[in-house]
Structure 1
Amino acid sequence: MFVGHAMLAFALGAGGARLAGRRPERALSIGVLAGAFATVPDVDMLYALSGLVGETGGVEGFWSASTLVHRAATHSLLVGVASAVGFSLCAAGLASLRPGERPLVRAAGPLSGLAILFALLAVAGAASGPLGLAVMGAFVLAGLALTAAAVRFGGLGPGVVGAAALVGLVSHPFGDLLTGEPPLFLYPLEAPLVTERVLLSPDPTLHLLGAFGLELATIWLAALVYCRLTERSLRGHVHWRAALGVAYVGGALAVPAPTVDSAYRFVFGVLAIGVVGPAPLARRIYPATRIAQWRPDGVATPLLTGLAAITLAGLSFAVGYALL
C-alpha cells in the first residue's frame, strides 16, 4: 500500500480543494502536498533496512526488523492530528517572515508549532525509548521539510498546509489494515482500536489480490482526479498496448501462490508487465535526443497505459489462480 497511501491522499486533497472552490492549479498543489504527507509515516521503515544486513538478512530480516517500530508512533491518529497542528503553526511562522510583519507575530507561530512537535518527541521517547525517539525525530524532520517547501515554493498558507498534513497523516494508517499488523491508532495510549488484520478472504492469495485491487483503485481515483483538474481524457491516454497485461494469466502457473508475506513474487512480475507495455511509447515520445523536452501530455500516456496493463495483469492472474 506504499503508493496507495500517497494516491488516496492526493485524490482526497486535490478533489476536496477543488470542491471547496480552489483553482485547478492550486487544488493540484494541495493534492501533491497531501500525498507527500501521506508518505511521511513510513519513515519508520528506515530502521528496517538494518534487517537487510543483520543476522537473518534478506527479505525476512527486513520485515522482522520492521516490526520493532513500524505502525506505531508515526501511524497514530492522535500523533497525526497533533503534528498537523504543529506543522500548520510552523507554516504560519514561516509565512509571516515577510517585511512589515510584527516580530511577535513572526515568532509566535513557529514557537508554538515547535513546542507541539517537541512534545511529541518527548512522548515517543518516554513510551518507546531511544528507537521511538529516533523514529519520531525522522517523522518531525520530514514533516517540517514538506512544510517549508510548501510555504517557500508552493506559496501555500498555514491553513492549507495543516489541512493537507491532516489528510495525509490521518488517512495513512487506514490503508494498512489489510497488510500486516494493524497500526496503533491511539498511540501512546494502550487502547487498541483494531486488534486484527482485516481479511478480504480466508484464502491468503485472494486476500492479497483483493488488497492489490484496492490499491489500484486508489491510483485510478488519483488519475481520474488529475485528469479532471487538467481537462484531460483518462481513456484517451490509455494505449492498446495495455492489453499485454492479459498475458500474465500464465503467472498463476509460474509464480508460487503469493501471500501478503511473500507479495514481492507477485508484485515484481506485475510491475514488469507495467513497464514492458508502455516502454515503446516512452521511447517514441522521448527519444534520447529530446529527453529534456519533458511535458505532462507525454508522461500521462505511458503512465496510464502502464497502470492499465498492471490492472489487467492483476485481474488475469486472479482469474488464472481461481481456475487452478
Structure 2
Amino acid sequence: MFVGHAAVAFAIVAGVAVGRGWTAERALTVGLLAGAFASLPDVDIAYALVGVVSAASGDALTLASAFWSTGNLVHRTVTHSLVLAPPVALVAALAGPSRRATRLVALTLGVGVVALALTVSGPLGAVVTVPFVLGAAAIGILARRYTDLPPATVFAVGVVGLVSHPFGDLVTGEPPAMLYPFETALVTDRLVLAADPTLHLLAAFGVELATIWAAVAVAGAATGLRPRTAVSPRATLGAGYAASILLIPAPTLDLSYPFVFSVLGVGLVGALPTVRLVGTADRPTVEPPGWLPALLTGLSAITVAWLAYTVAYVVVG
C-alpha cells in the first residue's frame, strides 16, 4: 500500500475540493499535499536498512526477510497513531509561517512528540519519530513557500493524510498501533479478504489498484481530462501475464516479491516507444510517448495483468 496511501488521501482531499468548486490547480495542490502527508508515516521503515546492511551478503529473499524483520521492530507504532496525527499535523501547519513565535510553538510541540516516543518506546521509538516530525515540518514549510494555502488548510489536510494512512495497512500485515501511546488496540487482527492466502494477496493488490484509479478519476474530474483517451491499446498485452502462474510461486503476504516486482514490470509497456513515419516508410523515427499516456497505459497494463493472473489462479487452482 505504499502508493495506495498517497492515492487514497489524494482522492479524498482533491475530491472534496472539486466538489466544493475549487479550481483545478488548487484542488490538485491540496490533493498532492494530502498524499505527501499520507506517505510520511512509513518513514519509520527506514530503520529496516539496518537489517539490510547486516544481511548484505545474502540473496534477495534473505535481504527482504531482514528488511521486514528489522523494520517491524518499530513499524506501525508511533508514526501510525491516530492520537498523534493532529499534533504532528499542527507541527506542519505552524512550521510554515515565517513568524518566529509560531515556529517556536511548532518546535516545542515536535520536541514533545519525540519525548513522548522516547518515554513510551525508548530510544528506538525516538529514532523513528525524529524524521517523522521533521518530515511534517518540511511539508509545512514547502506548502507555505510554494502555495498560498493558509495554516488551517495545511492542518486539516495533514490530519486527513496522517489519519487515513493506518487504515490502509489493515489488510497487509500486523494492524497498526492506532491508539499509541495507549495500550488499547483499536484493531487487533488483520482484515482477511479471502481465506486462501494467495487470493487475499491478490485482493489486497486489487484494493491498491482501485485507490490509484480513484485518484486518477479525481484528477480527471478536476482537469477535465478523460484518462480513457490517453491509454494505448497495447495495455491489453498485460493479459499475457497470466502465463506467469506457471513460472512464479503462488504469491502470499509472506512471499509476495516475485509477483509484485514482475507484475509491476508489466507496467513498462506504457513506456514503450511508438514508431512514427516521417517522410517515407524507409525512414521511421522512434517517438517515446508523453509521460501521461505512458503512465496511464502502464497502470492499465498492470491492472489487466493482475486481473488475468487472478482469473488464471482461480481457474487453475
In the alignment, is the contact (CA less than 8 A) between 2:45 and 2:72 conserved in 1? no
Q: Which moved more, 1:255-264 or 1:206-215?
A: 255-264
**Of 205, 210, 228, which aligns to 1:235?**
228
**Pairing 1:12-23 to 2, within 5 Å after superposition:** 12-23=12-23
What amino acid is aligned across from residue 198 of structure 2 in structure 1? T
Q: 2:153 aligns with which of 136, 139, 160?
A: 160
2:123 corresponds in structure 1 to 130
Post-superposition CA distance 1:216-263 (Å, at most 9, x none):
000000011111111111110111000001001111111111101211
**2:93 maps to amino acid:** S
- Specify every segment of 5 or more residues in structure 1 that has no aligned partner in the other structure, as ranges: 98-105, 292-296
1:281–1:302 CA contact under 8 A, matched in 2: no
Instruction: Name the structure 2 match of 1:42.
Output: 42
In the aligned structure 2, how far is the partner of 1:190 from the partner of 1:51? 27
| Equivalent residue number for residue 294 of structure 1 | none
Provide the C-alpha distance between the structure 1 equivalents of 2:134 and 2:101, rounded to a whole number of angstroms: 20
Is the 2:92–2:141 Cα contact (8 Å) retained in structure 1?
no
Q: Is the 8 A contact 2:81 2:177 kept in 1?
A: yes
2:177·2:185 contact (CA, 8 Å) conserved in 1?
yes
Could you tell me which residue of structure 1 aligns to residue 173 of structure 2? 180
For residues 263 and 113 of structure 2, the distance between their equivalents in structure 1, rounded to whole angstroms, comes to: 40
Amino acid at match of 1:192: A
Aligned residue identity for 1:58 = L
- Structure 2 matches for 1:70-109, cutoff 5 A? 70-91=75-96, 94=97, 97=98, 106-109=99-102
Mapping of residues 241-320 of structure 1, within 5 Å: 241-275=234-268, 277-281=269-273, 298-320=290-312
Partner Cα distance (2:103, 2:275) in 1: 47
Partner of 1:102: none
- Secondary structure at the aligned position of 1:77 is classed as coil
Opposite residue 28 of structure 1, the aligned amino acid is L
Tell me whether 1:215 sits opposite 2:220 in the alignment: no
Give the secondary structure class of the aligned counterpart of 1:78: coil
1:109-154 deviation digits (Å, cap 9, x = unpaired): 2222222221111100101111111110010111111111110012
Amino acid paired to 1:309: A
Q: CA deviation at 1:12?
A: 1.1
Q: 1:9 touches 1:168 (CA, 8 Å); kept in 2?
A: yes
Task: Tell me: CA distance 1:204–1:154, structure 2 relative to 1, closer, same or farther (3 Å).
Answer: same
Count of matched residue pairs: 303
TM-score by length of 1: 0.89
- Match of 1:88, SS? helix
List 4+ stretches of structure 1 deviating above 4 A: 281-284, 288-291
Please give the alpha-carbon distance, in whole angstroms, between the structure 2 residues aligned to 1:2 and 1:25: 25
- 1:204 pairs with 2:209: no
Offset of residue 156 of structure 1: 2.0
Q: Percent identity?
A: 49
Identify the residue that residue 114 of structure 1 maps to in structure 2. 107
Question: The residue matched to 1:186 in structure 2 has which SS?
Answer: coil
**Aligned residue identity for 1:310:** I
1:107/1:279 CA distance change after superposition, 3 Å: closer
Q: SS of the residue aligned with 1:183?
A: coil
Alpha-carbon deviations, 1:195-236, whole Å to 9, x = none?
111100111100000000000000000011111111111110
1:261 partner SS? coil
Gaps of 5+ in 2: 277-284
CA contact (8 A) 2:271 2:295 kept: no
Deviation at 1:53, TM superposition (A): 2.1
Query: Do residues 67 (structure 1) and 72 (structure 2) align?
Result: yes
Give the structure 2 partner of residue 100 of structure 1: none
The alignment's TM-score, normalised by the length of structure 2, stands at 0.91
Please tell me whether the aligned partners of residues 186 and 192 of structure 1 are also in contact (alpha carbons under 8 angstroms): yes
The one-letter code of the counterpart of 2:36 is A
TM-align CA RMSD: 1.9
